[in-house]
Amino acid sequence: MCGNNNCDSLREVLCTIVKIQKKVDCIEGVIASCDRPFLGQTPNSLYNTRPISFYTCPTNTLWTMPYTLNGTTGTSSVFRVEAVEDCCATLRVLAPGEEEGSFVSTDSFFTINLNCVGVIQCLADTLVANL
């Protein structure tokens, strides 16, 4: 499902994620776990990020991006949505943290055309330091 119809539905989910990460509580029409209106297992959880992964359209290949953190380079397939405008989303690359399932904020950003996205996968909400 590539094209403008995909952009509209993805944009809605990603906008919801941006709102909850900014602690905006005017979210209506929750339809899936990706757009659950709070971060964590309860509304009082101390998380600040809903990490996501993207799969390309039409091949469903996992999207990866390079990053440099503390002089070390790597690639990651986990991102934090920072902004959404029209059919584009600005994403921050998250590097793997020391603990299993944890992530570290990087200064690497990129913009993705949502028409190039086939599927998004939401990972467990987490606390990402240094945002």
**Cα 97 → chain centroid:** 16
Q: Which residue has the tokens 């659950």?
A: 36
In a domain, 65, yes or no: yes
In a domain, 67, yes or no: yes
Specify the DSSP class assigned to residue 61. Answer: P
In a domain, 128, yes or no: no
Q: What is the pTM of this model?
A: 0.82
Is residue 30 predicted with pLDDT exceeding 50?
Answer: no
pLDDT digits (tens, 9 = 90+) for 44-88: 667 889 999 999 988 889 999 999 999 999 999 999 999 999 899
Determine the residue type at 80: R
Determine the residue type at 61: T
75 near 65, Cβ under 8 Å?
yes
Is residue 103 predicted with pLDDT exceeding 60?
Answer: yes
Structural domain including 23 reads 4-122
In a domain, 129, yes or no: no
What total number of domains does the chain contain? 1
CA distance 17 to 38: 9
- Percent of the chain residues topping a pLDDT of 70: 79
In a domain, 127, yes or no: no
Which alpha helices (H) appear in 54-117, and where do they start and end?
Answer: none
